[in-house]
Amino acid sequence: MRAVLLCSTVAMALAACNSSAVIGSSAPQPTAAQMRINRVALPGDGRGDFITADAGTNRLFVTHSGRVHILDLKSLKELAEVTGLTDAHGVAVDHSTGRAFVTDSGPNAVVMFDPASGRKLKSIPAGTKPDSILLDPASGKVLAFDGGSSEVTIVDPSRGAAIGRVKLPNNPESAQADGKGNVWVTMEDADAIAQIDTKQMKFVRAIPLAGCDGPAPLAFDAADRVLFSGCGNKVMMVTDADSGKTLTSVPIGGDPDGIVFDAAKKRLFVANRDGGWTIVDQQGKDRYSVDQTLKIDEYAKTVALDPETHRVFSSTADLVWPKPVPGKKLLPNGKPGTFRLVVVSQG
């Protein structure tokens, strides 16, 4: 299998806010950072969901309907696939066992697989509609977030088995871990972030996000211990992870579904579904400026970062929209043969 490079675009002036002021300051800002966009075609129909960049295995895991594409993280050549899934969402890798795990919401399962070959090893029962997933470094356990049953399925990677569940007050979306025993996950319908103690595997508290309508994506700044939440009302909330205090908010685009924080460059990428990513520079724990709105493929909605190369990854396809239904939010399908990886390189 091989990936086909489709095109390369230099995005230098595609910015809505090239000289935006720092939030809370009138200081002038530098010219917008240069970004280059490449696209790599991948086989199969439909759209994708979460992407995981794993430096430990030098692999990029791209979920895509009923499969996971396994790519070389540096060359982006496709090396293997996980097939036979129903509706793949997120991937987590456990280096201690050499196993990887993907959520499959069709059969309500976490599927364990070999990250080198893509061979499926075991199907582990989860809650209803497992979606995002992560490996918690503090406990060594894999946590799958079940959006349909408002709980977390705890998986022991060494046993390849679910060993418990944590009940949450509302449906979980995107999660982050600090490696010290804390995991945070957005609760979209509650306009809040849930905090989980992974040493005791219990729900600790809900952090309300006043002024945030439907938080979905979440990122974490480990140095300053700050959480970034993308909200449906076009703002990104910045929250102190320890106190739960809202530090500030930053204007972003419409319908965000992914955020990633590049700690080395002090830069955030907010993936909005509306065809424009909001790129935000961090001047301090509570000070941010919008560098630019990067024009990008519509529905390139989730993001992953390779911290070594500073490349940011997403995926999408040409969209096919169903007929409108009054009062119902509809999601697009992907046009057959148009699925692609989207790669943003920072200048």
The CATH number of the domain holding residue 116 is: 2.130.10.10
pLDDT of residue 30: 54
Which of 208, 234, 249 corresponds to the end of one domain? Answer: 208
| Residues 148, 262 within the same domain | no
What pLDDT sits at residue 102?
98
Structure tokens at 187: 């609760």
Structural domain of 233: 1-41+225-336
Residues 111, 13 share a domain: no
- Would residue 262 count as lying in a domain? yes
27 & 65 share domain: no
- Sheet arrangement for strand 120-125: 88-94, 99-104, 109-113, 120-125
Q: Is residue 217 part of a domain?
A: no
pLDDT for res 3: 42
Residues 29 and 50 in one domain: no
Choose one of 208, 240, 255: the last residue of a domain: 208
Note whether 69 and 87 are same-domain residues.
Answer: yes
- pTM here is 0.91
d(CA 319, CA 332): 6
8-state DSSP, 22: P
From start to end of 85-160, where are the E strands? 88-94, 99-104, 109-113, 120-125, 130-136, 141-146, 151-156
CATH number at residue 36: 2.40.128
The answer to the question of residue 215 being in a domain is no
Q: What is the pLDDT of residue 32?
A: 85
Residue 341 falls within a domain, yes or no?
no
Domain-located, residue 120: yes
Q: Please say which residue of 177, 208, 239 terminates a domain.
A: 208
Q: Are residues 23 and 83 in the same domain?
A: no
DSSP SS3 for 211: coil
Domain-embedded: residue 172? yes
Identify whether residues 183 and 260 lie together within a single domain.
Answer: no
- C-beta atoms surrounding 233 within 10 Å: 13
Are both 51 and 199 inside the same structural domain? yes
51, part of any domain: yes
The verdict on 200 and 128 lying in the same domain is yes
For the chain, what is the domain count?
2
The verdict on 2 and 79 lying in the same domain is no
Length of the chain as a residue count: 347
- 123 and 234 share one domain: no
Asked whether residue 317 is domain-assigned, the answer is yes
pLDDT along the chain (347 residues), means of 10: 43 39 46 93 95 97 97 98 98 98 98 98 98 98 98 98 98 98 98 98 98 98 98 98 98 97 98 96 98 96 97 97 86 93 95
DSSP 32-87: PPPEEEEEEE-SSSS-EEEEEEETTTTEEEEEETTEEEEEETTT--EEEEE-S-SS
Looking at the structure, do residues 157 and 242 belong to the same domain, yes or no? no
Structure tokens at 53: 């960049």
